[in-house]
Amino acid sequence: MASAFPKLPGFVPTQELDKPNFRKVSSVKQEQNREIKQLPNKEYPVPRKQPVQIPPQSGMFNPDYLSTTHAMHMPKNVANDSEELYQPSWVKMDRHVLRFSGYFKEAVVESALENYRIRKITIFYYLEDHSLSITEPKQENSGVPQGAFLKRQKVLRADGSKTFIIPEDFRINQDIEIFGKTIRLYDCDQYTREFYEGIGQQQAPSFNPGCDSFETKTMTKYIPQKDTVMKDYLEHKLGGGKVTSQKQFLENDRKVLKFYVFSDIDYVLHYYLADDTIEIKEINSANSGRVPFPMMLRRQKLPRKFSLNQPGQTYAEDFIRPQDIQFGQPLIIYNRKFLIKGCDPFTRYYYQEKFNVDFPLGGQEEFQQEQKSNIIIPPHNGIGDEQDSLGYIYRLQPIPPKKDFFKWVDNQVNLRFLAMFNTTKPEDKDRVFVITFFLNDDSLLVYEPTVRNSGIPDGKFLEKRKYKNVNNNNEYFAPQDLIVGNEVIINGWRFQLLDCDEFTKKWYAESFK
């Protein structure tokens, strides 16, 4: 009797449900498989079921787009017994994978670094179809191709039984031969241990396979040991370095002991309490016949004993402290004697409070040469800023005058006044002006609004710059000089202040309460 079902895979009622695929097998493959014992896949009790994972179908550019698993097509609202009864083994064992860690030794020839290398691999055994795959973790600069070591496939046993490897062949701390490679298993994951406990074959505990010469010498990162003494020496030699005690620096910053010493001439010795450094300066006097050399000894820590050792050994090991400096006693500085003659008032007070020692005052003060200037400053011609013009008098290459940055930032405010000429000329008597005072730099700007048919051009009347008030000792104009109702003289022009805007009134009310 002819069947009405189409002869397609999945529509023939007499086909085997356990058959996972219906691909054609080539004749060459069939010849190779004739002698292999094709045993049916054995079902094992799994320790726990895999959760249903429905891949996201958010868009066609997602790599999991339109992907499916067996769990997506499982019947719903059906008892678990019915599901397991009609499920093939390849559905029950779907996504149940055993994972083992193993290694094998590979000989290395013509290498002075190593004789062999331990290559660690990971074996994945798929219970779905009893196939396995092997991967090798990649190591940096290993020199061998790593990654996929063996593609997923069924592997025959090496004992000649012509049967495939099954889960019972994997044992921790035992060898397994795969395509001629003898692999020693040393670890497995937790799920694999639960699986073997379920079938009554517990795995041995894990162990460390050890490291080879390549991993020891190449993969181990070298942590260099820092020479702190040499680093501190080089930093201070270049003028930097850190203070040994941060508390000492904060408490004694800008506190300097001043001593008057004598060697062949008079010197001034400065001891900086912030970092225990010493400097010696010459006292240059007028007509002394000596070339003025400002520094006898640059600022540094002074060792008690001078010797030529390795760099960093004599620095900050045993240096002079304030208690070592005593009145009348010579101070040996690099094999040169300096006699202490006295100190300044601050040093005397410091010794009284710190060491209860009365250090006498005295010594030759530094000569302060009077700077006589024969520069005659001419009067300003009114062109440009006066401070800018003074730069050409004091320096051959003038420097732009520095502005008060904080005043310029904090006072972005303008005061506006309405003014008229204080004159009897009929053509100027009705002219109206707007005077703007800028608080950020104390400059003034005088502007004349447009008056139609007046015959006088409108626009800027006086440039924006600082002007002097002749009624206030030629001082620059300030806000207190601009009072409504008063007369002011700006650059020779007499203005009568008539009014100001609302903001200016509020500003004056708050500033001059």
- Give the model confidence (pLDDT) of 463-481 as tens digits: 998 888 988 888 889 999 9
Where is pLDDT greater, at 208 or 368? Answer: 208
Specify the pLDDT at position 49.
73
Q: How far apart are CA 269 and CA 336, in angstroms?
A: 14
Please tell me the least confidently modeled range out of 61-70, 441-450, 473-482.
61-70
pTM: 0.40
pLDDT digits (tens, 9 = 90+) for 10-29: 566 665 656 556 667 677 76
Q: Is the dihedral of CA 23, 26, 29, 31 positive or negative?
A: positive
pLDDT at 162 over 50: yes
Interior angle at CA 86, CA 83 and CA 90, nearest 5 = 95
Residue 259 pLDDT greater than 50, yes or no: yes
Cα 133 to Cα 97: distance, rounded to the nearest angstrom: 11
CA–CA distance, 123 with 175 (Å, rounded to integer): 13
Instruction: Name the token pair of 33.
Output: 């498989």
SS3 content of the chain, % helix, strand, coil (to 5): 20, 25, 55
Band the pLDDT of 316: cuts 50, 70, 90. Answer: very low
Q: Classify 475 as helix, strand or coil.
A: strand
At 237 the pLDDT is: 74
Instruction: Please report the pLDDT score of residue 75 as a whole number.
Output: 52
Model pLDDT, residue 372: 59
Percent of the chain surpassing pLDDT 70: 80
